[in-house]
Amino acid sequence: MAGRNNPNGTNRDIRDDFRAEIREFLGTRRAKVTPEQAGLPVYGGERRRVTGLRREEVALLAGISSEYYTRLERGNATGVSESVIDGIAQALQLDEAERIHLLDLLRGAGTTRPPRRRPVQQRVRPAVQRVLDSMSGTPAFILSGRGDILAANPLGRALFSPVYADPARPPNNARFVFLDPHATEFFRDWDQVAGDTVAMLRAEAGRDLYDRRLTDLIGELSTRSEEFRRRWAAHNVRMHTTGVKLLHHPVVGDLDLPFETFPLGADPSQVLLTYTAEPASPTQDALNLLASWAATNDDIQRSAPANGSEPAD
């Protein structure tokens, strides 16, 4: 995403950024699929310069000409039909998250709107905050697409107290994962969390490369974290809506917490994230202890942003 933070956007077709993303994304997807996996014959004496599929092989599998696919991979997305996209998705064995990401990039390559000059300030509606506060036995959060914690209930703030320890507001999961030395201890499955975090940021970037808060965050992480740069270059995208998070809390120890995310229909860039414990499990006992600790720990309450508001740049 080099150059995409240019505030002026002068002397440059803004669609070039999306075209570059299309080229890199499709190139990395081709590299992940071998001819054997695609059901193509491989001859014993054939010398291949690539381990994955060639462009002409993708075109063959998708039922289009190699010239057309080459133009598409170079970012010429004008008039691409649904059937062509479906053929390419099948040829490259894209999952649903990857297919949606490709659609987002193709849509962006056809836009002519200018980049936003100022970031959009996100706020959590009072009714949503009341829903969070009513979930007294469940850690709950409102997250933005770039991983900002816009709001949380008291048990949520207690659970993520290591993330709230960073004085920057709003707290950001991606910044914590890659820049805070405590992250590898807090997330017992840090490698999985790191991969999921980058994949979600990559998907969010595909929806809008000109979200300045997002590009600033990606620029910061790319500058300060070699691990982030390596993972970002893989162009992986993922839908991460349910699973189990393995945490080690500094007060109550290990927790195995199933989670669910729910999109907020009136706030399309925000999701509700909840963690629940199996009844009568050690994790439930730990959550009960954490709730008691949170009730007597005023520091966590004072560190939370009021009403999930986000300071302006």
Token pair, residue 244, equals: 């189990």
pLDDT in tens, 24-45: 999 999 999 999 999 988 765 5
pLDDT in tens, 135-160: 989 999 999 999 999 999 999 999 99
Instruction: Establish how many alpha carbons lie within 13 A of residue 15's alpha carbon, considering only the half-sphere containing its beta carbon.
Output: 13
Token pair, residue 2, equals: 């080099």
pLDDT in tens, 281-307: 999 999 999 999 988 875 545 555 544
3-state class (DSSP) for residue 125: coil
Residue 201: name the closest of 227, 184, 221, 179 by CA: 221
**Alpha helix (H) ranges present in 50-172?**
55-62, 66-73, 82-91, 96-109, 126-134, 154-159, 161-164
In this predicted structure, what is the pLDDT of residue 14? 58
